[in-house]
Amino acid sequence: MYFEDFFNNLSNKKKKVLENNYLEYGHLCDLNNILIENFTHDFEEKNNIPYGTIEFLLLNYGMVGITKDDHNNYVVGFANLMSTSHYNYQKGDNVNITMFMSTDVYQRKVGIDCELIFNNSTRTPATDIYTFAELFKDLDISLKVLIKKSRLINTPLARNEFERQQIQEMLNDIEIGNWKAIQSRLDKVEEFTENRKPLEVLELTQAEATNYLQYLALCKNSLKEFFFTKYGHSLRNTSKVAQQSKDEVNDLDITSQILIDNMYKNRVQGWERVNKLFNTDFSCDFGELLKLERQKLNESIEDDNTNVDTEVEKEVEKDVETDVETDVEKEVK
C-alpha cells in the first residue's frame, strides 16, 4: 500500500520515468541471472555463501576478493585496490574488500591475506548487460505503444453535452456486451432520417499498425540471439538463414565460445592463486547448460573431422585404383 500511495502521488512524467526504470531493472536482473548460470564455484557451497554471489560480483564489478574474517571464516566481496589499479597491482598492495550485501569492510594485502579473481583479461565488468537491458526496455516500450496504437477505436464527436452522454452510455453498453434500445417519436422519424448528418468520428488509432509488430518481435529475437551467442549459447542454429552451410554454423558456434573461454581461464587462474595462498582446493566449472552447449559443439566438430577423413581416404583409394588401372593398361600394350 505504501508504494501504491507513493506512486499515485507522483506526476505523470515521474510515473513514466519510474515505470521505464523498473522495466530496465527487470531486464537487468534477468540478464544477470542468465549469465550467473554460465559458471559455478564450489567455494560458495563449501562456505555457506549464497549461490551466484561470486558471478554477480565478477559480472558487475570486474573482480572479487577472497579472504578470511576475524573468525577464520572465508568471505568474498567487492575488491577495491587502494594504492594502485587492478592492471598493475603487486603482492602486498592494500585492498579493501566490501562484503556483498553488507557494509563490512576488510582491509587486506594482496597475496598476503587475500587474493583477487578477475572477470576477464581486461579485468573489467560485463558492462554491455546494461546496454542490452536498455535496448530490451526500449523494444518493450515500442511494442506496448504499437499495440495500443493498433486498437480499433473510433472516437465519436458529439455536438452537445446531452449527445455526448448518450453516446458514452451506449459505448459503455457495447463494452460490456449489452444491447440497448432508444425511443424515437414516430412523427419525427422522417425528419430525423432526412435532416440528420452522419455522426462524425475521430480516428486516433491505426488498426493496420499490427503489421509492424512482427518486425519489432523479430528485432527483439535478434537481440536475444546476439546476447546469448556472445556469452556461449549460440542460437543461430534456430534461425532460418538461406544458404547457410554446416561449416558456417559451426564457425558461429565456435565464435560464441571465445569470450566464455577467456572468462573461464581468468576464473581458473584466480582460484589457483587462492588455493596457493590458503592451501585449499576451490575450483570453478562450467554451468550445466554451458557444458551441454560445449559438448554438442565438440561432437559436431568431431563429426566434421571424421567426414573429412573419410572423404580423404576415398580420394586416396580412388587415386590408387586409377594408378593401378593405368599400369595394367601399359602392361597390356
Counting Cα atoms < 13 Å in the Cβ hemisphere of 84 gives 11
- Whole-model pTM? 0.72
CA gap 220, 27 in Å, rounded: 13
pLDDT band, very low/low/confident/very high, at 145 (cuts 50, 70, 90): confident
Kind and range of the H or E run holding 270: helix 258-278
Q: How many angstroms separate the Cα of 43 from the Cα of each of 54, 105, 126? A: 9, 20, 22
Instruction: Using DSSP, state whether 239 is helix, strand or coil.
Output: coil
Q: What is the pLDDT of residues 242-283, one digit of tens each?
A: 455 555 545 557 788 899 999 999 999 999 999 999 999 999
| 156 three-state secondary structure | strand
Query: How, if at all, do strands 94-99 and 39-41 pair?
Result: unpaired
pLDDT at 144 over 80: yes
CA–CA separation, 290 and 297 (whole Å):
11
* Cα atoms found within 13 Å of the Cα of residue 132, Cβ hemisphere only: 24
User: What is the structure's pLDDT at 305?
Assistant: 55
Give the span between the Cα atoms of 262 and 280, in whole angstroms: 23
For the stretch 69-120, pLDDT in tens is: 989 999 999 898 887 776 778 889 999 999 877 778 899 999 999 999 999 9
